């Protein structure tokens, strides 16, 4: 049966990073973009309608944060994740990445070392460096078919490098790992022991495949909110990245005060009206769409895995437990990263994210975005198989 997610839309000429920028980067027209974490799907209808209704009024002045927006957020977190939030614990920001910058400035000093994982979403390291701090990247272990944290390595780094801030990706991009409560408990206790503040980037929280379940870092144990903050958004879940809105959930008053102080230094706490409207409509009315989306993504993931197993067995895929990203291991092909990337673009005509941007362990890997119509995905995979199969 054809679903809305099967519809192919041309995104060319929409100033899309995913589609329009690659023409300039690679000087080619017919590339299939399977990179960048946005989806080639239309947002939920009620979100489009809410934005249209606002646009129709034609006046685009400054906005306040309405109570109805807070209510929609509080309801979403409580209902889906048993995560109780109060209005005063919610701060807004144009994006999770800007908030990572704010947190780095608020909770560390220039020259301090910040702990992240390897591999992990590349702006973590970029933001640490851009703010004059030092990156310490603890390699994730590939075990049991997925990534696991190396707590002994993390502890050694925290001690030796006097680390006071850890940025966690929960669920994990690019590995698609949905961390278990026990794992979060262990890493949280470790951080607590050494006075390390945890910034949990939970932007992929809603993109989780059953039977896996997202556990918000604040719900792991009653005292976890004392030393951690959550950064999240509706924009990844509902394909609204361009409207720019995100939330920081900060229960500890001192962590909230210092975060907000840094936000105020550059007036970062006011955001686009479209972001407010889109977020509220998505959380209020987007759940049925999300349920269908997750089924579609799970099928794309299974399909990709089966396709590779059958047609390209030397390229292996870590099955994502969450996110719409697949971590592919091309290392058996024996190519350098430069060769691999060149051949994917020039011979196969597909654009994936180079694994190396996510850390040293990304060597020989690529990240593939599964969030497109199955026809697009199939065409991309067939092109890859034709070159490397």
Ligand X SMILES: Cc1ncc(COP(=O)(O)O)c(C=O)c1O
Q: Which residues bind ligand X (CB under 6 A)?
A: 37, 95-97, 121, 169, 173, 201, 203, 233, 235-236, 241, 246
- What minimum distance in Å lies between the beta carbon of 107 and ligand X? 18
The closest residue (CB) to ligand X is: 95
Q: Which two tokens stand for residue 66?
A: 């309405």
- What minimum distance in Å lies between the beta carbon of 309 and ligand X? 26
Indicate the residue among 32 and 234 with the shorter CB distance to ligand X. 234
Indicate the residue among 122 and 218 with the shorter CB distance to ligand X. 122
Which residues fall within 8 angstroms of residue 147, CB to CB, at 6 or more apart? 117, 140, 141, 172, 175, 177, 318
Indicate the residue among 45 and 244 with the shorter CB distance to ligand X. 244
Indicate the residue among 106 and 348 with the shorter CB distance to ligand X. 106
Indicate the residue among 44 and 95 with the shorter CB distance to ligand X. 95
- What minimum distance in Å lies between the beta carbon of 236 and ligand X? 6
3-state SS of 285-346 is: HCHHHHHHHHHHHHHHHHHHHHHHHHHCCCCEEECCCECCEEEEECHHHCCCHHHHHHHHHH
CA distances from 361 to 5, 358, 365 (A): 33, 8, 8
Kindly report the number of other CB atoms within 10 A of residue 119's CB atom.
27
CA dist., res. 159 & res. 169, Å (int): 21
- What minimum distance in Å lies between the beta carbon of 36 and ligand X? 8
Residue 24: alpha-carbon gap to chain centroid? 25
- What minimum distance in Å lies between the beta carbon of 343 and ligand X? 25
DSSP 267: T
- What minimum distance in Å lies between the beta carbon of 325 and ligand X? 8
Indicate the residue among 196 and 230 with the shorter CB distance to ligand X. 230
Indicate the residue among 214 and 236 with the shorter CB distance to ligand X. 236
Kindly report the number of other CB atoms within 10 A of residue 12's CB atom.
10
Which residues fall within 8 angstroms of residue 38, CB to CB, at 6 or more apart? 16, 17, 18, 239, 241, 371
- What minimum distance in Å lies between the beta carbon of 63 and ligand X? 18
């Amino acid at each position: 049966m054809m679903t809305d997610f099967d519809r192919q839309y041309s995104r060319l000429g929409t100033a899309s990073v995913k589609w329009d920028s690659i023409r300039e980067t690679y000087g080619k027209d017919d590339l299939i973009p399977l990179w960048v974490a946005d989806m080639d799907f239309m947002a939920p209808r009620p979100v489009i309608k809410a934005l249209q209704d606002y646009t129709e009024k034609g006046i685009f002045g400054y906005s306040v944060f309405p109570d109805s927006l807070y209510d929609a957020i509080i309801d979403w977190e409580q209902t889906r994740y048993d995560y109780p939030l109060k209005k005063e614990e919610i701060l807004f920001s144009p994006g999770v990445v800007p908030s990572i910058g704010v947190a780095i400035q608020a909770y560390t000093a220039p020259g301090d070392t910040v702990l992240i994982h390897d591999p992990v979403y590349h702006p973590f390291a970029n933001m640490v460096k851009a703010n004059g701090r030092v990156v310490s990247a603890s390699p994730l272990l590939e075990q049991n078919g997925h990534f696991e944290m190396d707590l002994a390595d993390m502890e050694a780094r925290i001690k030796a490098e006097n680390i006071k801030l850890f940025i966690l990706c929960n669920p994990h991009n690019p590995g698609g790992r949905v961390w278990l409560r026990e794992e979060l408990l262990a890493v949280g206790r470790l951080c607590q022991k050494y006075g390390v503040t945890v910034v949990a980037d939970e932007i992929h929280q809603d993109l989780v495949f059953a039977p896996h379940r997202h556990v918000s870092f604040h719900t792991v144990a009653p005292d976890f909110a004392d030393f951690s903050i959550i950064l999240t958004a509706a924009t990844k879940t509902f394909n609204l990245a361009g409207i720019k809105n995100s939330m920081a959930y900060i229960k500890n008053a001192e962590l909230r005060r210092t975060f907000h102080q840094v936000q105020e230094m550059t007036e970062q706490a006011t955001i686009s009206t479209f972001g407010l409207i889109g977020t509220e409509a998505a959380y209020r009315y987007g759940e049925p769409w999300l349920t269908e989306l997750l089924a579609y993504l799970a099928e794309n993931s299974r399909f990709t895995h089966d396709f590779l197993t059958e047609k390209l067995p030397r390229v292996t895929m870590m099955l994502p437990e969450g996110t719409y990203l697949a971590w592919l291991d091309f290392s058996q092909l024996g190519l350098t990263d430069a060769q691999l990337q060149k051949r994917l673009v020039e011979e196969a005509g597909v654009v994936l994210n180079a694994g190396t941007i996510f850390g040293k362990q990304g060597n020989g890997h690529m990240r593939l975005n599964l969030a497109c119509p199955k026809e697009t995905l199939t065409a991309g995979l067939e092109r890859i198989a034709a070159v490397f199969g």
